[in-house]
């Protein structure tokens, strides 16, 4: 639960940073590759946001507060509902697997760019 709350904070910070200034690099590719890269990034952000929301709803439907590394609790927002918790738990698992698959494909694409296409896409991701 604590890692889920930490993910929420990191995701919010990342979205604020990306929305305000972020790294503004020119696109590495044009055409279909550029559209696929943008779609993958947007899908990852959307799935991460959905995972956070589903995590909160799942825990609240269980009727238990979040405990953040023992420092503080986030109380339940509504009454426990076991049926709702079961459905949301299933969605939470499905979204988690979608994130894993998409992140794996994203990493594979970066490696293909680096080793097969020999372009600078992977190097551009490094700081400095």
DSSP H or E stretch at residue 67: strand 66-68
Helix axes 31-62, 2-20, angle to 10 degrees: 140
Taking CA 104 as the corner, what is the angle to CA 99 and CA 107, rounded to the nearest 5 degrees? 125
- Number of structural domains, the chain? 1
Structural domain of 70: 2-124
Q: What 3-state DSSP class applies to 21? A: coil
- Rounded Cα distance, 111 and 114, in Å: 5
pTM of the model: 0.83
Q: Which two tokens stand for residue 3?
A: 């890692």
What's the pLDDT tens digit per position in 36-56?
Answer: 888 998 999 999 999 999 999
What's the pLDDT tens digit per position in 77-112?
Answer: 889 999 999 999 999 999 999 999 999 999 998 898
């Amino acid at each position: 639960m604590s890692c889920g709350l930490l993910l929420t904070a990191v995701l919010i910070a990342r979205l604020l940073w990306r929305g305000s200034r972020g790294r503004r690099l020119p696109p590495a590719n044009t055409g279909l590759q550029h559209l696929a890269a943008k779609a993958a990034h947007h899908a990852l952000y959307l799935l991460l946001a959905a995972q956070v929301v589903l995590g909160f709803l799942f825990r609240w439907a269980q009727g238990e507060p979040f405990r953040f590394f023992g420092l503080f609790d986030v109380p339940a927002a509504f009454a426990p509902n076991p049926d709702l918790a079961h459905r949301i738990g299933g969605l939470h698992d499905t979204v988690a697997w979608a994130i894993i698959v998409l992140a794996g494909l994203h990493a594979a694409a970066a490696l293909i760019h680096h080793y097969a296409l020999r372009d600078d896409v992977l190097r551009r991701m490094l700081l400095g």
